[in-house]
A and B are shown apart, each in its own frame.
Chain A
């Protein structure tokens, strides 16, 4: 019942209520990971479902994500205490030559809400920076965004760089000029046309 109430609060974009209900569940000694998985992440899965079926659009998705974040902030100290690991680490950025950040930030937010540890390198990020960050944070995924068609070559270079490095590091690409066929052509491991879809692709890349 309380789990459903938290999910509803997220789906109604109610930050204050989400935080209050999460706090109440912690006070009842419910395990932080249970609250995260069964209430907050479950709520965001429902947001993803509503987005992919055209019930939610970006405004609704963003507001729900912020409500979820409010709950997550309450949980964070408890998750840290229990040494609970993130679902995986994702390095994200807009490729070199491109300074657009809206799409990248939406993806970053949705991945965080799905329990990933997201390292956001910002915009105009070089191949070297992506690779160095992947190394430093022992990431599982490098997520690349581009808005300009002229920077697709840079995206291709980063994907090639990750491939050359070897190991299990995966690439996830997206952005206005990026298509599934382009992603396949450059050898990216995953592609998503939108932020909500990026979550399921990231999960499949890590758990496959």
Chain B
């Protein structure tokens, strides 16, 4: 067994496919409404979950990547794109989280894992929040692909300058590209279209990230992105974090067999099992986690935000079992 490590050291070791003292345990984005519900189910008053379960702190820097002035209409023409461009000023100090200088100082001597969210993904950066704009963007993709390239290039350059700005001051442990809109059986765009439009526009961001020596580049997807994996690997991503997907279609054991440890993995534990009960949790954790840990480069985590429909007693059982199974493996 190696010496006791900080959460940060543990994460870095894991992502380098080396052997940490134990696997990192992250919390699953549990919100206050869940804590409130769990208090009624036995979570003691004034007790934090991190006091009940061994937890590695993870922080994500969320810079504001939205246009400063929300567009009345998202661009579908060059003129509208020029207007939007003016609202994407990377030098605007309001884009950084509050108390920035103080935070930067604190981060210099941190023990926890720090990630930077660098891109909001294709659909959100094209302004898609509902059907009307979704339909408009799809039309543009087919009828005016040059415009979509231009719009994505504007977003890519802006995101790259924001990343540059943060990375010149802060050494982060990973960057996260988010891709929140997709289908549970496949992505909405074909791999060819995803490469041609989306990944190409990420290039300036990826260049900035590499210039600053960030080792772990995460694609956090909320869709079944399996067929996009060869493309993202080609572009230099090395970690997949799949959330709220059809778990059978994105079984991490299959992905590991297919892509090896070149693709690091975060998540992979079916949230439905946590809703289900002890037997479902036991099967899920005992069958999936050990083979993935054996190869390294894996952080076990539920495949999405734990919500109030997970009973507290299930969550306790899950966290305790996860510790037991992973420690046995170590």
A joins B in a complex = yes
Q: Which residue numbers of A lie inside 8 Å of B, CB to CB?
A: 13, 54, 57-60, 62-63, 100-103, 105, 149-150, 152-153, 175-179, 182, 193-194
Cβ of B181 and Cβ of A59 under 8 Å apart?
A: no
Segment of B59-67, B185-193, B203-211, B257-265 in the binding face: B185-193
- Which residues on A sit within 8 Å (CB–CB) of B271? 149
Residues of chain B touching chain A, judged by Cβ–Cβ distance below 8 Å, are 130-131, 134-135, 138-139, 141-142, 181, 183-190, 193, 222-223, 227, 244, 246, 248, 271-272, 304, 307-309
Q: What is the bound-complex CA distance between A46 and B309, given in angstroms?
A: 41
The B interface is mostly helix, strand or loop, or mixed, namely loop
Assuming A63-B138, A149-B271, A150-B309, is B188 touching A101 (CB within 8 A)? Answer: no
Q: Report if A179-B246 is in contact (Cβ < 8 Å); known contacts: A62-B138, A63-B139.
A: yes
* CB-based contact B131/A58 at 8 Å: no
Q: For residue A105, which residue of chain B has the nearest CB?
A: B131
Residues of B close to A178: CB separation below 8 A: 184
Q: Which residues of B contact A62 (CB under 8 A)?
A: 135, 138
Residue of A nearest to B133 (CB): A102
Could you list 24 examples of A-B contacts with CB < 8 Å? Answer: A54-B190, A57-B190, A58-B183, A58-B188, A58-B189, A59-B141, A59-B142, A60-B142, A63-B139, A100-B130, A101-B131, A102-B131, A105-B131, A149-B271, A150-B309, A152-B309, A175-B184, A176-B184, A177-B184, A178-B184, A193-B184, A193-B185, A193-B246, A194-B185
Whether B188 pairs with A57 at a CB distance below 8 angstroms is yes
| B186–A149 touching, CB < 8 Å | no
Chain A's closest residue to B309 (CB) is A150
B193 touches A59 (CB 8 A): yes
Picked from B138, B190, B193, B244, the residue with its CB within 8 Å of the CB of A176 is: B244
Q: Closest Cβ of chain A: how far from B111's Cβ, in Å? A: 33
Instruction: Tell whether, in the assembled complex, residue B186 and residue A194 are in contact, meaning their CB atoms are under 8 Å apart.
Output: yes
A116 CA to B246 CA, complexed, in Å: 28
Contact yes or no, B244 A59, CB < 8 A: no
- In the complex, A13→B134 CA distance in Å? 17
B307-A149 in contact (CB<8A)? yes
Q: Which of A59, A103, A182, A194 has the most CB of B within 10 A?
A: A59
User: Assuming the A-B contacts A54-B186, A176-B184, are A102 and B138 also in contact, with contact meaning beta carbons closer than 8 angstroms in the complex?
Assistant: no
- Smallest beta-carbon distance B70→chain A, Å: 18
Bound-complex Cα distance A103 to B227 (A)? 20
Complex formed: what's the CA distance from A47 to B139 in Å? 17
Alpha-carbon distance A150/B309, docked complex (angstroms): 7
Select from chain A the residue with minimum beta-carbon distance to B33: A150
Asked, given contacts A176-B244, A177-B244, whether A102 binds B130 with beta carbons under 8 Å apart, the answer is: yes
- Chain B: CB-nearest residue to A195: B183
The CA-CA distance from A124 to B193 in the complex, in Å, is 32
Given A59-B141, A149-B271, A149-B309, 12 more A-B residue pairs with CB atoms under 8 Å apart are: A62-B135, A62-B138, A63-B139, A100-B130, A102-B131, A102-B181, A105-B135, A150-B309, A176-B183, A176-B244, A179-B272, A193-B246
> In the assembled complex, which residues on chain A have CB atoms less than 8 Å from the CB atom of B307?
149-150
Task: Enumerate chain B residues within 8 angstroms of A194, measured Cβ to Cβ.
Answer: 183, 185-186
Q: Are A59 and B227 in contact (CB under 8 A)?
A: no
